């Protein structure tokens, strides 16, 4: 097996997950999904249009796991060291990480096949939603703290605000998806990729937290180095690296890397327009914190499933999902952070900049899709745009906010993280640029 089949998706998801941590939420999880989708498409030698579609599918599939809360689960592992809930917390992270990457792996395989018609895909997505609701009720409810909490619970029972969990619903949806693709569609590669994702996600999330708990409490490199270390970011990027490596190995051993791009049956373009609007309006409203959308953030599965269905069944979702949507979620989060949280930017200027950026992104995405630019172009845009947006979120505070510390010390561990993003982006650029374009 070529080392590149492990290294490229591993580093792609390592960078993507580190960037995702800067933006958070289910929409932030679109970033590592898009990156690993593009990496796997290039390893298979797919052209630009097919690569963009696979990246869009992976982005929306990966976003589903972002609904799960895990901050308090991590707290079970590292609030004390060693913690009495250490192993219970790691089990919870393995369960959450496994289903997260398992769903991503399954849909990566589904996107390589032309055996699924739009009506079947719609039924499959609806079925996942129904199974998810059932699984959530059975495993993650009731949630009426402090009197009633689920029997199997991986957050902090004694916290004043114990988190609502969703992992049971996602597991029901994934098991149902594996049963449908394996037993009814005879698509064993989808089941195999789901299993590879489950193993890689479970190991990656739990091992990443082992490193974080160890580094935070043991300070292995001494106090002088500790202040420059962001162990939470170490956990995130370790999770991404192992998850991406597992998906890359699965991509190779299942034979998907040698599969020609599919020619899927797609619905009418008008359905593209409708579903894009159904995704775009609520997500943008929630991301920018618009008042009339208050409460919509509690229904992220609906928007993400619409995007997933569109990227599988539509023809216009490939450039939108890979280009516009992934840029939108990171850019809008950056604007909101600088305007509302840090007060470093007026809303009018931030919103105007967001509109201009999205206009440029939409124009380039449509142009590239029509002209069938190489997958490498989509790759470079995604890697460097996302890396640049993390700098746009981080740098103004360092440069503009008054601080008695000198300029170098002000960078802190955040500066180390930002530089690591640049280094990874350079490495990923070099890995792709030395590979012969198909």
**pLDDT tens digit string along 369-400?**
999 899 999 999 999 999 999 999 998 888 87
Range of weakest confidence among 49-53, 344-348, 353-357, 399-403: 399-403
Q: What is the mean pLDDT of residues 150-158?
A: 95
pLDDT: is 398 or 106 the higher one? 106
Average pLDDT, the chain: 92
Q: What is the mean pLDDT of residues 158-163?
A: 93
Q: What is the mean pLDDT of residues 252-264?
A: 93
pLDDT of residue 273 exceeding 80 = yes
pLDDT band at 283 (very low <50, low <70, confident <90, very high): confident
pLDDT reported for residue 438:
44
pLDDT band at 289 (very low <50, low <70, confident <90, very high): low
List Cβ<8 Å contacts ≥24 apart for 334-339. 334/23, 334/389, 334/392, 334/393, 335/288, 336/287, 336/288, 336/289, 337/393, 338/393, 338/396
Of the chain, the percentage scoring pLDDT greater than 90 comes to: 78
pLDDT reported for residue 296:
66
pLDDT of residue 70 exceeding 70 = yes
Q: CA angle 210-175-165, nearest 5°?
A: 50
pLDDT reported for residue 348:
86
Going 179 to 183 to 185 to 188, the CA torsion angle's sign is positive
Q: What is the mean pLDDT of residues 6-15?
A: 97
Range of weakest confidence among 44-53, 89-98, 393-402: 393-402
pLDDT band at 344 (very low <50, low <70, confident <90, very high): confident
Q: What is the mean pLDDT of residues 205-217?
A: 97
pLDDT reported for residue 346:
87
The upper half-sphere exposure of residue 258, i.e. CA atoms within 13 Å in the direction of its Cβ, equals 5
pLDDT reported for residue 59:
98
pLDDT reported for residue 435:
65
pLDDT band at 152 (very low <50, low <70, confident <90, very high): very high
């Amino acid at each position: 097996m070529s080392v590149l089949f492990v290294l490229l998706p591993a580093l792609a998801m390592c960078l993507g997950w580190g960037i995702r941590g800067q933006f958070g939420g289910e929409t932030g999880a679109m970033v590592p999904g898009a990156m690993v989708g593009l990496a796997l498409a290039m390893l298979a030698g797919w052209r630009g249009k097919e690569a963009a579609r696979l990246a869009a599918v992976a982005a929306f599939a990966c976003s589903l796991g972002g609904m799960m809360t895990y901050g308090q689960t991590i707290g079970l592992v590292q609030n004390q060291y060693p913690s009495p809930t250490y192993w219970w917390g790691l089990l919870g992270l393995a369960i959450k990480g496994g289903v997260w990457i398992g769903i991503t792996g399954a849909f990566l395989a589904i996107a390589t096949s032309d055996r699924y018609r739009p009506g079947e895909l719609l039924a499959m997505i609806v079925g996942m939603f129904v199974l998810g609701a059932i699984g959530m009720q059975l495993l993650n409810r009731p949630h009426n703290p402090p009197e009633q909490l689920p029997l199997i619970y991986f957050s902090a029972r004694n916290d004043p605000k114990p988190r609502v969990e969703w992992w049971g619903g996602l597991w029901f949806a994934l098991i149902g998806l594996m049963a449908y693709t394996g037993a009814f569609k005879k698509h064993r590669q989808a089941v195999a990729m789901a299993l590879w994702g489950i193993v890689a996600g479970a190991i990656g999330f739990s091992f990443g937290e082992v490193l974080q708990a160890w580094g935070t409490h043991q300070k292995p490199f001494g106090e002088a180095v500790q202040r420059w270390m962001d162990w939470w970011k170490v956990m995130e990027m370790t999770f991404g690296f192992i998850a991406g490596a597992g998906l890359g190995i699965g991509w190779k051993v299942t034979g998907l890397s040698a599969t020609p791009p599919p020619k899927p049956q797609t619905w009418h373009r008008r359905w593209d327009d409708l579903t894009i609007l159904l995704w775009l309006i609520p997500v943008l409203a929630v991301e920018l914190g618009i008042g009339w959308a208050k409460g919509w953030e509690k229904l992220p599965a609906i928007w993400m499933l619409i995007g997933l269905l569109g990227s599988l069944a539509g023809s216009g979702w490939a450039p939108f999902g890979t280009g516009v949507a992934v840029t939108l979620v990171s850019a809008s989060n950056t604007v909101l952070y600088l305007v509302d949280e840090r007060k470093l930017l007026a809303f009018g200027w931030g919103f105007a900049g967001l509109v201009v950026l999205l206009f440029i992104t939409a124009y380039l995405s449509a142009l590239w899709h029509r002209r069938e630019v190489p997958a490498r172009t989509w790759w470079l845009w995604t890697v460097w745009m996302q890396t640049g947006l993390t700098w746009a979120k981080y740098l103004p505070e360092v440069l503009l906010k008054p601080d008695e510390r000198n300029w170098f010390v002000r960078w802190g561990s955040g500066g180390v993280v930002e530089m690591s993003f640049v280094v990874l982006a350079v490495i990923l650029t070099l890995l792709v640029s030395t590979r012969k374009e198909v």
